[in-house]
Amino acid sequence: MEEDTTYFVIAPITATSITISATLGGGAITLDGDSNDDGGGHFKISYAEYEAVCAVREFSLDLTREQLDVTTLPCGVSTAGTKYAAFKTFQPGFASGTGTMTVYFTDSQVSLANRLLGNVLLRSQEGASCRLFVNTVSDGATPPQPDLTASNYIQAGISIESMSLSVNPDDATTAELGYTITKPEVFLGAVIG
């Protein structure tokens, strides 16, 4: 293993072991036990910052704000009568965001779409985050990555709350995920978190 090198985890993953590859979708490699930490044969494993889920067919996001009723009683005595009812006064309150994402379901146990579907059952989804691109501009590198300064996207922590499958013999199998935004960070280019 090379220091500061990215390796990829291959399914299946057990409670006590993982198999890794030097390339995405590549074959398993054998570790030779020469990790460089404290001599205990350990190495650090962390998730990639973001990975494209290429099986997403479409997504939707609905943002709403509750209205707070801030109507108060009149401050003084009024002698002038009116024939019209008084209107309540409102101000915007907290925002919330919910949405759905339709993904293609495949027989590949290592596809990110299938792994995403399985997350609906996780007790803790701590750290779950996504970037929902409205339009994507390439950075021109090889391999190309999104240019985050030129692209329009929404970046937020999410909680996956529901999943439904749609299966019929005439169409590709799709699944719809329902999610709620928990920690918004970027909204269409504006940093908000």
Average pLDDT over the chain, rounded to whole?
A: 81
Closest by Cα among 51, 43, 19 to 130: 51
Report pLDDT for 190.
87
In whole angstroms, give the CA distance from residue 95 to residue 63: 7
State the residue for tokens 């439904």: 164
Residue 16 banded pLDDT, cuts 50, 70, 90: confident
| Residues near 120 by beta carbon (within 8 Å), at least 6 away in sequence | 160, 161, 162, 163, 177
In the chain, the percentage of residues whose pLDDT exceeds 70 is 81
Look at residue 63 and tell me whether its pLDDT is greater than 80.
yes
Mean pLDDT within 56-85: 83
Look at residue 56 and tell me whether its pLDDT is greater than 90.
no
Read off the pLDDT of residues 145-157 as tens digits, 9 standing for 90 and up: 889 899 999 999 8
Q: Are 173 and 98 in contact (CB under 8 A)?
A: no
Higher pLDDT, 110 or 10: 10
Give 28's strand partners: 21
Report pLDDT for 100.
94
Q: Are 120 and 74 in contact (CB under 8 A)?
A: no
